[in-house]
Amino acid sequence: MYEFTYHRPTSLADAAAMLGRSEEAKLLGGGQTLLPTLKQRLARPSDLIDLGQIAELKGIREEGGGLMIGAFTRHAEVAHSDLVRRVIPSLADLAEGIGDRQVRNMGTLGGSICNADPSADYPSAVVALKATVKTDRREIAGDDFFTGMFETALEPGEIVTSVTFQKPDKAAYAKFRNPASRYAIVGVFVARFGSEVRVAVTGAGPSVFRATDMETALAGNISPDALNGIKVAADGLNADIHASAEYRAHLVTVMAKRAVVACG
Protein backbone atom coordinates (compact mmCIF):
# COMPACT_ATOMS: atom_id res chain seq x y z
CA MET A 1 0.00 0.00 0.00
CA TYR A 2 1.08 3.54 -0.68
CA GLU A 3 0.87 5.89 2.25
CA PHE A 4 -2.30 7.81 2.99
CA THR A 5 -3.73 9.87 5.81
CA TYR A 6 -6.40 8.02 7.76
CA HIS A 7 -9.43 9.81 9.19
CA ARG A 8 -12.19 8.50 11.41
CA PRO A 9 -14.95 11.09 11.58
CA THR A 10 -17.90 10.61 13.92
CA SER A 11 -20.44 12.65 11.98
CA LEU A 12 -21.59 12.78 8.38
CA ALA A 13 -20.89 16.51 8.23
CA ASP A 14 -17.27 15.95 9.26
CA ALA A 15 -16.87 13.16 6.71
CA ALA A 16 -18.27 15.36 3.95
CA ALA A 17 -15.96 18.21 4.92
CA MET A 18 -12.92 15.90 4.87
CA LEU A 19 -13.95 14.47 1.52
CA GLY A 20 -14.34 17.96 0.09
CA ARG A 21 -10.82 18.93 1.09
CA SER A 22 -9.04 16.65 -1.36
CA GLU A 23 -9.90 15.34 -4.80
CA GLU A 24 -7.80 12.29 -4.03
CA ALA A 25 -9.58 11.35 -0.82
CA LYS A 26 -11.54 8.09 -0.70
CA LEU A 27 -14.30 6.86 1.59
CA LEU A 28 -13.67 3.60 3.42
CA GLY A 29 -16.64 1.34 4.11
CA GLY A 30 -15.84 -2.21 5.18
CA GLY A 31 -12.79 -2.13 2.94
CA GLN A 32 -13.26 -5.57 1.45
CA THR A 33 -12.65 -4.27 -2.07
CA LEU A 34 -10.81 -1.04 -1.36
CA LEU A 35 -8.09 -2.51 0.85
CA PRO A 36 -7.17 -5.30 -1.60
CA THR A 37 -7.09 -2.62 -4.32
CA LEU A 38 -4.73 -0.51 -2.24
CA LYS A 39 -2.56 -3.51 -1.38
CA GLN A 40 -2.07 -4.12 -5.08
CA ARG A 41 -1.21 -0.45 -5.53
CA LEU A 42 -4.01 -0.05 -8.06
CA ALA A 43 -5.11 3.16 -6.35
CA ARG A 44 -3.30 5.87 -4.48
CA PRO A 45 -5.72 7.96 -2.40
CA SER A 46 -4.28 10.84 -0.41
CA ASP A 47 -6.74 10.27 2.42
CA LEU A 48 -8.93 7.41 3.62
CA ILE A 49 -12.06 8.52 5.43
CA ASP A 50 -13.35 5.63 7.52
CA LEU A 51 -17.16 5.82 7.83
CA GLY A 52 -17.29 3.19 10.57
CA GLN A 53 -17.91 5.51 13.50
CA ILE A 54 -20.83 7.47 12.05
CA ALA A 55 -24.06 6.45 13.79
CA GLU A 56 -26.21 8.18 11.15
CA LEU A 57 -25.06 5.64 8.55
CA LYS A 58 -26.06 2.55 10.53
CA GLY A 59 -29.20 0.63 11.25
CA ILE A 60 -32.16 -1.09 9.69
CA ARG A 61 -35.74 0.05 10.15
CA GLU A 62 -39.15 -0.21 8.54
CA GLU A 63 -40.06 2.78 6.45
CA GLY A 64 -43.12 3.25 4.27
CA GLY A 65 -43.86 -0.45 4.31
CA GLY A 66 -40.34 -1.24 3.08
CA LEU A 67 -36.92 -1.22 4.67
CA MET A 68 -34.46 1.59 5.21
CA ILE A 69 -30.93 0.25 5.58
CA GLY A 70 -28.06 2.54 6.55
CA ALA A 71 -25.13 2.67 4.14
CA PHE A 72 -22.69 1.41 6.78
CA THR A 73 -24.74 -1.70 7.55
CA ARG A 74 -22.67 -4.82 7.13
CA HIS A 75 -23.80 -7.73 4.97
CA ALA A 76 -23.91 -10.04 8.00
CA GLU A 77 -26.24 -7.62 9.81
CA VAL A 78 -28.66 -7.66 6.88
CA ALA A 79 -28.40 -11.45 6.58
CA HIS A 80 -29.08 -11.99 10.29
CA SER A 81 -31.67 -9.27 10.81
CA ASP A 82 -35.04 -10.62 11.99
CA LEU A 83 -36.64 -7.50 10.54
CA VAL A 84 -35.16 -8.05 7.07
CA ARG A 85 -36.01 -11.75 7.28
CA ARG A 86 -39.64 -10.82 8.02
CA VAL A 87 -40.17 -7.91 5.61
CA ILE A 88 -37.98 -8.79 2.60
CA PRO A 89 -36.55 -12.30 3.15
CA SER A 90 -35.05 -12.37 -0.36
CA LEU A 91 -32.80 -9.47 0.63
CA ALA A 92 -31.52 -11.38 3.66
CA ASP A 93 -30.87 -14.38 1.39
CA LEU A 94 -28.92 -12.21 -1.02
CA ALA A 95 -26.78 -10.76 1.78
CA GLU A 96 -26.13 -14.25 3.17
CA GLY A 97 -24.68 -15.28 -0.19
CA ILE A 98 -22.15 -12.45 -0.56
CA GLY A 99 -18.50 -13.47 -0.39
CA ASP A 100 -17.69 -15.54 2.67
CA ARG A 101 -18.50 -15.20 6.35
CA GLN A 102 -15.53 -12.92 7.09
CA VAL A 103 -16.24 -10.66 4.12
CA ARG A 104 -19.89 -10.40 5.22
CA ASN A 105 -18.74 -9.42 8.71
CA MET A 106 -16.92 -6.40 7.27
CA GLY A 107 -18.45 -5.44 3.92
CA THR A 108 -21.20 -2.83 3.81
CA LEU A 109 -24.24 -2.12 1.66
CA GLY A 110 -23.05 1.37 0.81
CA GLY A 111 -19.58 0.17 -0.06
CA SER A 112 -20.97 -2.47 -2.38
CA ILE A 113 -23.29 -0.23 -4.35
CA CYS A 114 -20.86 2.70 -4.57
CA ASN A 115 -18.16 0.42 -5.92
CA ALA A 116 -20.70 -0.81 -8.51
CA ASP A 117 -18.78 -3.95 -9.36
CA PRO A 118 -20.53 -5.54 -12.35
CA SER A 119 -20.56 -8.87 -10.47
CA ALA A 120 -21.77 -7.58 -7.11
CA ASP A 121 -25.06 -8.91 -5.72
CA TYR A 122 -26.66 -5.83 -4.14
CA PRO A 123 -27.16 -3.81 -7.36
CA SER A 124 -29.75 -6.37 -8.50
CA ALA A 125 -31.78 -5.79 -5.32
CA VAL A 126 -31.49 -2.01 -5.58
CA VAL A 127 -32.99 -2.15 -9.07
CA ALA A 128 -35.52 -4.98 -8.61
CA LEU A 129 -36.85 -3.71 -5.28
CA LYS A 130 -37.44 -0.18 -6.62
CA ALA A 131 -35.02 1.20 -4.08
CA THR A 132 -34.24 4.82 -3.38
CA VAL A 133 -30.62 5.65 -2.67
CA LYS A 134 -30.30 8.55 -0.25
CA THR A 135 -27.17 10.65 -0.17
CA ASP A 136 -26.06 13.62 1.90
CA ARG A 137 -27.59 15.90 -0.74
CA ARG A 138 -30.45 14.14 -2.63
CA GLU A 139 -32.39 10.98 -3.41
CA ILE A 140 -31.55 8.85 -6.44
CA ALA A 141 -33.93 6.23 -7.87
CA GLY A 142 -32.42 2.74 -7.89
CA ASP A 143 -33.04 2.56 -11.65
CA ASP A 144 -30.81 5.61 -12.17
CA PHE A 145 -28.05 4.86 -9.68
CA PHE A 146 -25.86 2.45 -11.65
CA THR A 147 -24.55 4.05 -14.82
CA GLY A 148 -21.81 1.70 -16.01
CA MET A 149 -18.99 -0.60 -15.01
CA PHE A 150 -17.82 0.65 -11.60
CA GLU A 151 -19.77 3.84 -12.31
CA THR A 152 -22.67 5.43 -10.48
CA ALA A 153 -24.72 8.61 -10.62
CA LEU A 154 -22.84 9.95 -7.58
CA GLU A 155 -21.14 13.31 -7.93
CA PRO A 156 -17.67 13.97 -6.57
CA GLY A 157 -17.83 14.33 -2.81
CA GLU A 158 -21.34 12.86 -2.50
CA ILE A 159 -21.90 10.31 0.27
CA VAL A 160 -24.56 7.58 0.22
CA THR A 161 -26.31 7.53 3.58
CA SER A 162 -29.00 4.84 3.18
CA VAL A 163 -30.98 2.72 0.78
CA THR A 164 -34.74 2.26 1.08
CA PHE A 165 -36.04 -0.95 -0.48
CA GLN A 166 -39.72 -1.39 -1.28
CA LYS A 167 -41.42 -4.50 0.02
CA PRO A 168 -42.44 -6.79 -2.84
CA ASP A 169 -45.33 -9.26 -2.73
CA LYS A 170 -42.88 -11.97 -3.68
CA ALA A 171 -39.22 -11.92 -4.57
CA ALA A 172 -36.18 -14.14 -4.92
CA TYR A 173 -32.57 -13.88 -5.99
CA ALA A 174 -30.87 -16.70 -7.88
CA LYS A 175 -27.16 -16.58 -8.48
CA PHE A 176 -24.75 -18.66 -10.49
CA ARG A 177 -21.69 -17.89 -8.49
CA ASN A 178 -18.02 -18.08 -9.14
CA PRO A 179 -17.06 -20.95 -6.83
CA ALA A 180 -13.83 -19.25 -5.71
CA SER A 181 -14.83 -15.61 -5.25
CA ARG A 182 -18.58 -16.19 -4.86
CA TYR A 183 -19.20 -13.11 -7.00
CA ALA A 184 -22.14 -13.49 -9.38
CA ILE A 185 -21.20 -14.83 -12.80
CA VAL A 186 -24.89 -14.16 -13.32
CA GLY A 187 -27.41 -13.19 -10.65
CA VAL A 188 -31.08 -12.50 -11.28
CA PHE A 189 -33.39 -10.78 -8.80
CA VAL A 190 -37.10 -11.24 -9.58
CA ALA A 191 -39.64 -9.17 -7.64
CA ARG A 192 -43.40 -8.95 -8.02
CA PHE A 193 -45.31 -5.84 -6.98
CA GLY A 194 -48.98 -6.47 -7.73
CA SER A 195 -49.23 -6.95 -11.49
CA GLU A 196 -45.74 -5.54 -12.06
CA VAL A 197 -42.76 -7.89 -12.19
CA ARG A 198 -39.18 -6.63 -12.18
CA VAL A 199 -36.23 -8.71 -13.33
CA ALA A 200 -32.81 -7.24 -12.53
CA VAL A 201 -29.69 -8.94 -13.82
CA THR A 202 -26.21 -8.55 -12.33
CA GLY A 203 -22.92 -10.16 -13.32
CA ALA A 204 -23.90 -10.53 -16.95
CA GLY A 205 -23.29 -7.03 -18.28
CA PRO A 206 -21.05 -4.07 -17.49
CA SER A 207 -23.69 -2.91 -15.04
CA VAL A 208 -26.94 -4.23 -13.59
CA PHE A 209 -29.82 -4.12 -16.10
CA ARG A 210 -33.50 -5.03 -16.32
CA ALA A 211 -34.58 -7.87 -18.58
CA THR A 212 -37.69 -6.11 -19.86
CA ASP A 213 -38.84 -8.91 -22.20
CA MET A 214 -38.86 -11.22 -19.21
CA GLU A 215 -40.72 -8.67 -17.09
CA THR A 216 -43.45 -8.41 -19.73
CA ALA A 217 -43.73 -12.19 -20.06
CA LEU A 218 -43.91 -12.67 -16.30
CA ALA A 219 -46.39 -9.85 -15.70
CA GLY A 220 -49.24 -11.91 -17.07
CA ASN A 221 -47.99 -15.30 -15.95
CA ILE A 222 -45.45 -15.59 -13.14
CA SER A 223 -44.20 -19.08 -13.88
CA PRO A 224 -40.88 -20.38 -15.18
CA ASP A 225 -42.56 -21.57 -18.37
CA ALA A 226 -43.38 -17.96 -19.22
CA LEU A 227 -39.66 -17.49 -19.82
CA ASN A 228 -39.32 -20.32 -22.33
CA GLY A 229 -37.57 -19.04 -25.42
CA ILE A 230 -36.81 -15.62 -23.95
CA LYS A 231 -33.11 -14.83 -23.96
CA VAL A 232 -31.12 -11.67 -23.55
CA ALA A 233 -28.72 -10.89 -26.39
CA ALA A 234 -25.10 -11.89 -25.81
CA ASP A 235 -23.90 -8.72 -27.53
CA GLY A 236 -22.23 -6.44 -25.02
CA LEU A 237 -22.31 -8.93 -22.13
CA ASN A 238 -19.19 -9.61 -20.09
CA ALA A 239 -16.77 -12.27 -21.25
CA ASP A 240 -13.82 -13.46 -19.19
CA ILE A 241 -12.01 -16.64 -18.16
CA HIS A 242 -15.03 -17.66 -16.10
CA ALA A 243 -17.75 -17.45 -18.75
CA SER A 244 -18.26 -16.29 -22.32
CA ALA A 245 -20.90 -13.70 -23.23
CA GLU A 246 -23.02 -16.44 -24.83
CA TYR A 247 -22.85 -18.56 -21.70
CA ARG A 248 -23.81 -15.60 -19.53
CA ALA A 249 -26.77 -14.87 -21.84
CA HIS A 250 -27.86 -18.49 -21.42
CA LEU A 251 -27.45 -18.28 -17.64
CA VAL A 252 -29.68 -15.21 -17.40
CA THR A 253 -32.70 -17.24 -18.50
CA VAL A 254 -31.73 -20.18 -16.29
CA MET A 255 -31.25 -18.00 -13.20
CA ALA A 256 -34.43 -16.03 -13.94
CA LYS A 257 -36.39 -19.27 -14.04
CA ARG A 258 -34.83 -20.42 -10.78
CA ALA A 259 -35.69 -17.11 -9.15
CA VAL A 260 -39.28 -17.36 -10.38
CA VAL A 261 -39.54 -20.88 -8.95
CA ALA A 262 -38.08 -19.65 -5.64
CA CYS A 263 -40.70 -16.86 -5.57
CA GLY A 264 -43.18 -19.70 -5.02
Q: Report the interface residues with another protein, using CB under 8 A.
A: 1-6, 8, 28, 31-32, 35-36, 38-39, 48, 50, 52, 76, 80, 99-103, 105-106, 180-182
Select 36 or 236, whichever has its Cβ closest to another protein.
Answer: 36
- Least distance between another protein and beta carbon 208 (Å): 24
Report the nearest approach of another protein to the CB of residue 69 (Å): 18
Q: Please identify, using beta-carbon distances, which residue of 8 and 170 lies nearer to another protein.
A: 8
Q: How far is the CB of 123 from another protein (least distance, A)?
A: 21
54/72 Cα distance (integer angstroms) = 8
The span from the CA of 199 to the CA of 18, in Å, is 38
CB nearer to another protein: pick between 31 and 206: 31
Cβ within 8 Å of residue 14, ≥6 positions away: none
Q: Which residue(s) pair with 134 in the sheet?
A: 139, 162
The residues that bridge with 184 in the sheet, in sequence order, are: 177
Query: Minimum CB separation from another protein for residue 51, in Å?
Result: 10
Residue closest to 232 by CA, chosen among 207, 259, 214: 214
Nearer to another protein, 131 or 184 (CB): 184
Name the residue nearer to another protein (CB basis): 184 or 217: 184
Closest contact distance (angstroms) between CB of 206 and another protein is: 24
- Give the residue from 201, 190, 210 showing the smallest Cα distance to 248: 201
By C-beta, is 80 or 231 nearer to another protein? 80
202 CB-near residues (< 8 Å, 6+ apart): 118, 119, 120, 121, 123, 124, 184, 186, 187, 188, 189, 208
Helices marked H in the chain: 12-21, 34-39, 75-80, 82-87, 89-96, 101-106, 109-115, 122-128, 142-145, 212-220, 245-263
Pair 224, 249: CB distance under 8 Å: no
- Supply the minimum distance, in Å, between the C-beta of residue 105 and another protein: 4
